[in-house]
């Protein structure tokens, strides 16, 4: 057991537990979602003391150097002094629109004062503290509200609650914005390759619109995967973007189809992307969605020539608070 | 005279080599299973540590660390070790590094062979 100084208080972390649990238990409001080291929303900064190596697993060298670490992976062995991640915000948001899209996707629009980049993610926090990470499909310069697209899981605690109980006019706490999966305009000629399945499309939709808004010049190609054609929930929006911008191409991909549907490719999205781009050298890529899918896309794109630094990913890791199915 | 690491171009040279080396290693069936972890970013950081070390750059690893750091890699033997050196040499050639420097780098690598192979 070790003690940790946070703001003006001291908490002790029992062995087998972690700093996030101890801080939450003591009543501190610390952003968190996965509690498994994946979402990085519980990131904090150490001011004094020795961190266990596991607390910095997976962070970038620059983050490590600044003393950033993940509270949910930190079981301190000796006394630490820590502070909140200075970059994280916590704001109140009001639901202004709620819509069920095809493919069991719930679209929420929230009014809030959050600073963010399109494609980053936030934690939505219910009154009782239940919290889940969702990516932002909105572009702050194009629309005033935050937009999230939530896949409804049959036994999903948050998604079922959002579908059945959350109403327009209700408020939610929003923490964020996190992640470095967003568009940057340092190389406007670079070809962009984006792919995602399911609601992995949400941040990609934001990133594409952000890039186009900023006048990205190089070709932009988005592959959107779904099980069946009816689940391609942003099909209309993406088609109209593709006809409005000559450098934007949209390729819908479905796993199953009885007859070859018009303008849709059938098969595995990884294979189809590979057939289009056997060589990815010099390209910049964005992949979002289920961890298995994203890891495969990343590896294949790296092996085909893209530089690691040019591959940006958001893995939708399920929360460790999820009740196992 | 400046160190080998400086002559190679320091950290920028390491950064340039990481992508190429990592791609080769992942594509090499003899050793790819050791490097094929889910967390590619973490693995890239370790590749960088490896390259800095064999380039003669600043590091804090001791022979004991090399022993500890590799002993969980099941079945690691000379064949794997040679494969790593081979990919390293190919990476350096691709970057236009001369043969005399490649030999110096291979010698640094070989100096920890027994530690890495835990014998
Ligand atoms: C960085 C990040 C960004 C994310 N962005 C989005 C987003 O934009 N849109 C979105 O819909 N989700 C997103 N997620 C996932 C989201 O945070 C939740 O995990 C998801 O909505 C399920 O929460 P729940 O409370 O409804 O289900 P839970 O109660 O957590 O889980 C219920 C059951 O569903 C299973 N389950 C949970 N997630 C999945 C999954 N992905 N695939 C298969 N089974 C699952 C669980 O194992 C469990 O059995 C993101 C996650 C991360 C880490
Ligand atoms: C040329 C001699 C070698 C040197 C100098 C060397 C050096 C290093 C260094 C510095 C690290 C990072 C340790 C850390 O900070 O965690 C590392 C990790 C690693 N090395 Fe080597 N290495 C050598 C040979 C090999 C060989 C032959 C293999 C296998 C084929 C190998 C596989 C690995 C793996 C898999 C890791 C990551 C371990 C982990 O994730 O826990 N190395 N090595
Ligand atoms: S990384 Fe700690 S809560 Fe997700």
Distance CA B15, CA A310 (A): 13
Question: What is the reported pLDDT for A242?
Answer: 97
Residue located via tokens 């095809």: A102
Task: Report yes or no for ipTM above 0.85.
Answer: no
- Tell me which residues of chain A have a pLDDT lower than 70: 61-62, 322-325
Whether A70 lines ligand 3, by a CB cut-off of 6 Å, is yes
CB contact under 8 A, B19 and A307: yes
CB contact under 8 A, A308 and B26: no
> What residue owns the CA closest to ligand 2's atom 1?
B109
What domains, with CATH codes, occur in chain A? 2-84 (3.10.20.30), 89-178 (2.40.30.10), 192-321 (3.40.50.80)
The pTM (predicted TM-score) of the whole model is: 0.83
Q: Regarding beta strands A121-125 and A131-135, do their DSSP bridges make them parallel or antiparallel, or are they unpaired?
A: antiparallel
Question: What is the reported pLDDT for A325?
Answer: 42
CB contact under 8 A, A58 and B27: no
Report yes or no: A308 at the B interface, CB cutoff 8 Å: yes
Distance CA A87, CA B31 (A): 40
**Per-residue pLDDT tens digits for B48-103:** 889 988 988 888 788 888 898 898 898 999 999 999 999 999 999 998 889 998 99
Instruction: Calculate how close chain A gets to B100, using CA atoms only, in Å.
Output: 28
Question: What is the reported pLDDT for A83?
Answer: 93
Residue B9 binned pLDDT confidence (cut-offs 50, 70, 90)? confident
> What residue owns the CA closest to ligand 2's atom 3?
B109
What domains, with CATH codes, occur in chain B? 4-116 (1.10.490.10)
Q: Which of A261-270, B2-11, B16-25, B90-99 has the lowest mean pLDDT?
A: B2-11
Residues from chain A that touch B44, judged by Cβ atoms under 8 A, are 308
Report yes or no: A291 at the B interface, CB cutoff 8 Å: yes
> What residue owns the CA closest to ligand 2's atom 8?
B50
Ligand that comes closest to the CA of residue A318: 1
Q: Regarding beta strands A146-151 and A105-111, do their DSSP bridges make them parallel or antiparallel, or are they unpaired?
A: antiparallel
């Amino acid at each position: 057991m070790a003690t940790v100084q946070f703001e003006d208080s001291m908490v002790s972390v029992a062995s087998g537990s972690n700093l996030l649990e101890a801080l939450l238990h003591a009543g501190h409001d610390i952003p968190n979602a996965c509690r498994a080291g994946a979402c990085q929303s519980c990131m904090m900064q150490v001011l004094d003391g020795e961190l266990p190596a596991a607390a910095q697993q997976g962070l970038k060298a620059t983050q490590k150097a600044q003393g950033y670490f993940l509270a949910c992976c930190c079981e301190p062995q000796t006394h630490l002094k820590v502070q909140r991640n200075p970059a994280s915000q916590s704001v109140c948001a009001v639901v202004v629109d709620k819509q069920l899209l095809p493919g069991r996707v719930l679209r929420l629009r929230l009014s809030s004062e959050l600073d963010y980049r399109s494609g980053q993610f936030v934690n939505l926090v219910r009154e009782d503290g239940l919290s889940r990470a969702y990516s932002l499909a909105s572009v702050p310069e194009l629309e005033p509200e935050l937009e999230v697209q939530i896949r409804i899981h049959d036994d999903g605690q948050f998604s079922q609650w959002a579908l059945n109980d959350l109403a327009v006019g209700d408020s939610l706490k929003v923490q964020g914005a996190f992640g470095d999966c967003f568009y940057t305009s340092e190389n406007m000629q670079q070809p962009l390759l984006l792919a995602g399945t399911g609601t992995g499309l949400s941040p990609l939709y934001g990133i594409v619109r952000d890039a186009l808004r900023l006048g990205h010049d190089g070709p932009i190609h988005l592959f959107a995967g779904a099980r069946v054609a009816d689940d391609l929930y942003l099909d209309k929006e993406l088609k109209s973007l593709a006809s409005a911008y000559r450098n934007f191409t949209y390729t819908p991909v479905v796993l199953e189809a009885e007859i070859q549907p018009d303008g849709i490719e059938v098969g595995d999205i990884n294979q189809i992307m590979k057939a289009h781009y056997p060589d990815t050298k010099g390209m910049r890529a964005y992949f979002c969605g289920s961890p298995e899918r994203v890891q495969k896309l990343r590896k294949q794109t790296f092996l085909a020539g893209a530089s690691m630094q040019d591959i940006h990913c958001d893995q939708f890791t399920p929360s460790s608070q999820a009740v196992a199915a | 005279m400046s160190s080998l690491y400086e002559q190679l171009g320091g950290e920028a040279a390491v950064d340039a080599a990481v992508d190429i080396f990592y791609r080769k290693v992942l594509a090499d069936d003899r050793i790819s299973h050791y490097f094929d972890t889910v967390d590619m970013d973490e693995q890239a950081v370790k590749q960088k540590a490896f390259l800095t070390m064999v380039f003669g750059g600043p590091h804090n690893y001791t022979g004991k660390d090399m022993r500890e750091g590799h002993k969980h890699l099941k079945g690691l033997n000379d064949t794997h070790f040679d494969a790593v050196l081979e990919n390293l040499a190919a990476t350096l050639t691709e970057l236009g590094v001369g043969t005399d420097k490649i030999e110096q780098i291979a010698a640094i690598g070989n100096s920890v062979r027994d530690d890495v192979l835990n014998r």
